[in-house]
Amino acid sequence: MDALAASFPGSEVSQDESLAREFEQRLADCPKLAYSVALGVMHNTAEAEDVAQEAMLRAYRSFHRLRDRERFRGWLVRMAFRLALDRIRAKGRRERHEYDATLATLSAQPEASVENLVASREFERQVAQALDALPEKLRIVMVLAAIEGYNTHEVAKLAGLPEGTVKSRLFLARKKLAESLQCLVKNTPVG
Amino acid sequence: MSCQKYSGWLTDAALGELRAEREPELLAHAMECDACREALSHARAVYEFVDRGVAALVAGEPSPHFATNLRRRIAQETELLQSPWMAWAPIVAGTLALAAVLAIMVAHRHVRSLPDPNVASAVAPIAALREAATASLASPQLSPRTVGKHGPERTTQVRPRTTALPEIIVPKGQLSAAAQLSAAIVTGRVDGNQLLAAQQESEKPLEMKPIEIPPMEIPVLDDATEKPANSIQF
């Protein structure tokens, strides 16, 4: 923390310490949020962690404007989401083509049980692809709602949207995802 | 018919968004109708898949070294910002940007001042042509020798050279003709005075002579000519 206190430039020492203390608190509870958002976009743990680090670093640089906890979390979520999207675009589409080839083999698989299907790596990839196909405004709401412990009210606060908008977007996102994954679930015994 | 009515409610019910007053009605129908019951069950299963699938995608924790790595990055950045030469960074950056702008301006001006490569080679011969023609026309003592009653004679007189003549740009196709004319003037085969006189002649305005038109005589016609034989009479 001393290092953090010393690193806030151009302020009084007491103010630096106060900022450092607050940033330490954010560092204790916010990285998971940034990491989950980045993971929902990137689907790769190492890259998601890198994006979350970058988002936290930027948050640190602007921390004097983001001392309010809720404001900080909302800003961090949007920054992580934006950074992750930028990384994905920068990576290009080469990996995506490989991805599609794997999914084609999945579609040809015989019927599987629900539990096996959900647990399978291929199902995860299929969901990831369907999620990637969603418009950005639906995707961020869907990702935030999927993070454990976040209800519609929390998502609305993080996304900076009215609760009604979040509900309608969430409804639309799930409907679109269900349409995309329908073919996968159709042949699977349910119940 | 009633199944069609309830099919639109199935998605809402599966997503938990069906209006409270409609839910008992749908459930009652589902108890009686096997197809709708199965459809509702399937829709719920699909949305459960979706929710579990997305939740599995975002599940996970950052590595235990996350905070340590972040602190290290912050410390590195701070160290960089606090290093003494970083104070000069904005000045250096500004100077470099200014130098780049100046270099671009100078290069742009240099490119604009260069002549077109198609006509550049024509400059020297035409300068010589102009030089020779000027010298030829500016020497009054040459006139009697070059323009006599026996026609133009060759002259071997050395002409004074002028150093700062304007350059004439000649289109590419006329370069060889201009060079030949230049050589002819220099060697005396062509007289500059004649060229000048011909040029002055061509520049004279044309004389306009009025054309005299005599008045037309109108012949007096008698009655027979006034009324031709084939004229129609009413």
Closest CB from A52, A143, A178 relative to B46: A178
Chain B touched by A142 (CB under 8 Å): yes
- Rounded CA separation B185/B114 (Å): 30
Q: Give the pLDDT confidence score for residue A144 in this predicted structure.
A: 92
pLDDT one-digit tens code per residue, B167-212: 667 777 788 888 888 888 888 888 878 888 888 888 887 778 888 8
Name the pLDDT band for B111 (thresholds 50, 70, 90).
confident
pLDDT one-digit tens code per residue, B7-63: 778 888 887 778 888 888 888 888 888 888 888 888 888 888 888 888 988 888 888
Question: Which domains, and CATH codes, for chain A?
Answer: 2-91 (1.10.1740.10), 107-186 (1.10.10.10)
Taking CA atoms, B58 is separated from A42, B115, B161, in Å, by: 10, 65, 89
* Cβ–Cβ gap A49/B71 under 8 Å: no
- Rounded CA separation A79/A37 (Å): 10
Name the pLDDT band for B159 (thresholds 50, 70, 90).
low
Q: Closest Cα to residue A190, out of B11, B47, B76, B173?
A: B47
Chain B touched by A112 (CB under 8 Å): no
In angstroms, the first-to-last Cα distance of chain A is: 53
Average pLDDT value for chain A: 78
Whether B99 shows a pLDDT value over 80: the answer reads yes
* Cβ–Cβ gap B57/A131 under 8 Å: yes
Query: Where do the H-state alpha helices sit in chain A?
Result: 2-7, 13-29, 31-42, 45-61, 69-91, 94-107, 114-119, 121-132, 136-146, 152-159, 163-186
Is the ipTM here above 0.85?
no
Q: Give the pLDDT confidence score for residue A105 in this predicted structure.
A: 45
Contacting residues of B for A185, CB less than 8 Å apart: 42, 45-46, 49
Query: How far A5 CA lies from chain B's nearest CA (Å)?
Result: 10
- Please give the residue of chain B at the shortest CA–CA distance from A182: B46
Asked whether A77 and A158 are in contact (CB, 8 A), the reply is yes
Asked whether B164 and B129 are in contact (CB, 8 A), the reply is no
Name the pLDDT band for B145 (thresholds 50, 70, 90).
very low
**Comparing A178 with B230, which gets the higher pLDDT?**
A178
φ/ψ of B4, rounded to 5, equals -60, -40
The residues pairing with B147 across neighbouring beta strands, listed in sequence order, are: B152
Domain limits, chain B: 2-58, 85-114, 119-202
Closest CB from B15, B50, B58 relative to A40: B58
Contacting residues of B for A117, CB less than 8 Å apart: 49
**For a pLDDT cut of 90, what percent of chain B falls above it?**
4
Q: Give the pLDDT confidence score for residue B146 in this predicted structure.
A: 45
